[in-house]
Amino acid sequence: MRVNDIVSGTILIAAAAAMIAYTRTFPSFPGQHYGPDLFPRILGVLLIIFGGLLVVRGLRARVAGAPLVSAPEWATRASGLVSVGLVLGVILAFVLFQNVIGFIPLGIVSLVGLFLWFGVKPLQAGLIGVASILIIHWFFSSLMRVPLPRGLLDPFL
């Protein structure tokens, strides 16, 4: 999604203001002039200034006829949106379900699913998907000793 600089500038100013407000909860230490709130506050003030410059620039572009929000080419195609959604969905699935389902089953389902959506032939997708997940699992789990969750396969591994 592409937004006019008015929008990005306003979001920046709001976020920076929230950051500065939050630094008021930081403690100050007796005898110390400069506490943990100093640096974030300087950053916040600078972000507000630059956010303001962005808004000014956006207003100028708006006067010249630029739209407030415009969709890039891929967002106008259903396939583009599904592709982005699938990639993000797979990552989210790993965050939420990897511990329950386990790396191997979740990995195979995700990989084969993505292959099929991107147009890899079914047989090829299945073979490459299963083989690569097993290799990645072997590499990280056995060689690098990363405790990848076993999940459903716990009784068998």
Partner 1 sequence: MTFDILMQAFALVFRLDVMAIILASAAFGMFVGAMPGLTATMATALLVPVTFFLDPVPALGAIVTATAMAIFAGDIPAAIMRMPGTPASAAYTDESYAMARKGQLDLNLGVNLTTSVLGGLIGVVILVLCAPVLAEFALAFSSFEYFWLAALGLTCAVFLATDNPLKGFVSLLLGLAIGTIGIDPAAGFPRFTFGSVELMQGVSFIPAMIGMFAISEILRGATAINAPSEMITQAIGNVFRGVGSTLRKYWVNFFRGSAIGVVIGALPGAGADIAAWISFAVSKRFSKEPEKFGTGHVEGIVDAGAANNSALAAAWIPALVFGIPGDSITAIVIGVLYMKGMNPGPTVFLQNPQLIYAVFIIFVLANLLMLPLGWAAIKSARQVLRVPQNVLIPMILIFCIVGSYAMTNSYYGILIMLIMGVFAFLLEQNGFPIAPIILGLVLGEMFEQNFMTSMIKADGSFLAFFARPIAAILGISTLAIWALMIWRVGIAKQPAPAQ
E runs forming strands in the chain:
2-3, 69-70
Closest among 113, 114, 98 to 151, alpha carbons compared = 98
Q: Which residue has the tokens 């950053």?
A: 43
Contact 7, 69 (CB under 8 A): yes
Query: What track of x and - describes contact with partner 1 for positions 19 through 58 (by CB under 8 A)?
Result: x--xx--xx-x--xxxxx-xxx--xx-xx--xx-xx--x-
Tell me how far, at minimum, the Cβ of 145 lies from partner 1, in Å: 7
Q: Cα–Cα distance between 66 and 59 in angstroms, integer? A: 9
Query: What track of x and - describes contact with partner 1 for positions 74 through 113 (by CB under 8 A)?
Result: x-----x--xx-xxx-xxx-xxx-xx---x---x--xx--
Q: Which of 60, 100, 134, 152 lies at the binding interface for partner 1 (CB under 8 A)? A: 60
3-state SS, residue 77: coil
| Residue 8 contacts partner 1 per CB under 8 A | yes
Contact 12, 43 (CB under 8 A): no
Tell me how far, at minimum, the Cβ of 42 lies from partner 1, in Å: 9
Q: Cα–Cα distance between 141 and 135 in angstroms, integer? A: 10
Q: Cα–Cα distance between 120 and 126 in angstroms, integer? A: 9
Please identify, using beta-carbon distances, which residue of 113 and 156 lies nearer to partner 1: 113
Q: Which residues contact 59 (CB under 8 A, 6 or more apart)?
A: 6
Q: How many residues bind partner 1 (CB under 8 A)?
A: 69
Contact positions toward partner 1, by CB under 8 A?
Answer: 1-3, 5, 8, 12, 19, 22-23, 26-27, 29, 32-36, 38-40, 43-44, 46-47, 50-51, 53-54, 57, 60-61, 63-64, 66, 72, 74, 80, 83-84, 86-88, 90-92, 94-96, 98-99, 103, 107, 110-111, 114-115, 118-120, 128, 132-133, 136, 140, 144-148
